[in-house]
Structure 1
Amino acid sequence: MEDRYAGCYASLEDVAASLTEAAGGLEQVPEHIRGYINYATMARDMELCGDIFTLEAHVQEVHVFCNR
C-alpha cells in the first residue's frame, strides 16, 4: 500500500494536474492551450477507470493511491 501512495491533495483536480505534470504530459501542450485542460474531468475519469483510488479524510484533504 505504501508503494502505491501518491500523496495528499486539496482536491481531485489537483491530483490530475500534479500527476499530468509529473508524467511530463504538459511539455507536449502549447502554453496558450494549457488553460483549456479540464483537470476535474480528467480526475473523475481516472477514478472511474480505476487508475486511482481516493480517500477523503477532511475538507480539502484527499489521499490518493495509484493502481497502475
Structure 2
Amino acid sequence: MASATEQSFKQKILEEDLCCGICQETFRRPKALPCLHTFCEECLTETANLGDLCCPLCRREVPLPTDG
C-alpha cells in the first residue's frame, strides 16, 4: 500500500498533467493542438480571438480552421 506522501505526490503530478497552461485550472473541454500541447477549448478560443493563434507553450503557429 502506498504511503500518504507517495499518494500526495501522485495526486500533484496528476493535477499538473491535467492543468491548462493558460488558465492554470483543470481542463474544461480539453483541445490538443498539432504540437500536442493541450488547453481548455474556451482558453484557446479567447486566445485566437486576439489574432493569429500560436501555442502558448512552444509558440508554434496553429492554422485556424475556416469553419470555426
Do both proteins adopt the same fold according to a TM-score greater than 0.5, normalized to the shorter chain? no
Q: Report the structure number with the largest CA radius of gyration.
A: 2
Identify, as 1 or 2, the structure richer in helix: 1
Greater RCO between the two (CA within 8 Å, min separation 6)?
1
Give the TM-score normalised by structure 2. Answer: 0.26
Identify, as 1 or 2, the structure richer in strand: 1
